Structure 1
Amino acid sequence: MKNDINIRNKRAYFDYALGDKYIAGIALLGTEIKAIREGKVNMTDAFCMFIGNVLYIRNLHISEYANSSFYHHDIKRDRALLLQKKELKKIRVKAEEKGFTIIPLRIFINERGFAKLELATGQGKKEFDKRESLKEKDTKRELDRVLKR
């Protein structure tokens, strides 16, 4: 079985200067993993936060699985992220610094069939940083166009 699910949070790369990246497991229900395998995920508004000593992802929209019978999961429920204690400690220290936050970057299915979430610690970009990112993107696109001719 080929696992080509790779759902990206494109806004995160534009809005944040990203730092350390981590791979976390997600505590899911049966209908949620089936919906993820169909690619029915929207992570535009998703963010991560600590509640107690557990890291959760909030506002991750996983649509209902069409073939489920009477039991449907809550579309935007909080889902626990599964990381090692030392990774959680590093993330918490970084997130408590002024201006830093935890950003979900992408969801993918690994080779064993488990859903994983790539997250990063990052700092919000200012408006002039965003304009600079757009300029770099445009120049790269123009350069690629010239080289293909």
Structure 2
Amino acid sequence: MAKEQGRKLVAQNKKARHDYAIDDTYEAGLVLQGTEVKSLRQGRASLVDGFVDIDGGEAWLHGVHIPEYSQGTWTNHSARRKRKLLLNRIEIDKIERRVSEKGLSVIPLSLYFLDGRAKVEIGVGKGKKSWDKRHTIAERTAQREVEQAVGRRLKGMSD
């Protein structure tokens, strides 16, 4: 069987970038059971309620829903079990230090296969307040309007 190449996106947490101001991102491997991998290869997962916890010098992914594999038997996995993340010791220490000092959160942003191996992109960031979200939306709208005006101007159209 040919080895998988490239990046295949399984799940993405779009709301995370809306709810959090992401400072740093890290790529981590996942410790999975066989039926979890098969379920992910079918493109089934949800990162909506997920978060990362540092416990005993290890990073754990909580709340990520990977549904049971349909052809699985008694060897099927629990859908919301906690899963160990594979990160370097330096990265774990850096994340733990930032979370404890500044009160930041660590959340999963996307889940994908990279050259046949399951990876999760995690982000360290601070939660936005409702006025922060409105401010971000207003900035994005203003930027879009400026780009449209420049485009019309370049085409010779009047404003």
Asked if these proteins are the same fold (TM beyond 0.5), I'd say: yes
Larger Rg: 2
Kept after mapping to 1: 8 A contact 2:112/2:118 = yes
Equivalent position amino acid for 2:40 in 1:
I
Kept after mapping to 2: 8 A contact 1:5/1:37 = no
5 Å-filtered alignment, 1:5-24, equals: 5-24=9-28
SS at match of 1:118: strand
Q: Identity rate of aligned residues, in percent?
A: 36
* Counterpart check, 1:102 vs 2:106: yes
What is the alpha-carbon distance in structure 2 between the residues aligned to residue 59 and residue 37 of structure 1? 19
Gaps of 5+ in 2: none
Kept after mapping to 1: 8 A contact 2:11/2:44 = no
Which consecutive aligned stretches of 4+ in structure 1 deviate over 4 angstroms post-superposition?
139-149
2:76 corresponds in structure 1 to 72
* Counterpart check, 1:114 vs 2:117: yes
Alpha-carbon RMSD across the aligned residues, in angstroms, is: 2.1
* Counterpart check, 1:26 vs 2:26: no
- TM-score normalised over the length of structure 1: 0.88
* Counterpart check, 1:43 vs 2:14: no
* Counterpart check, 1:86 vs 2:90: yes
| 1:44-80: CA deviation from partner (whole Å, max 9, x where unpaired) | 0000001211110100000111121332100000000
Q: Which among 106, 129, 132 is matched to residue 129 of structure 1?
A: 132
Query: How many pairs were matched up?
Result: 148
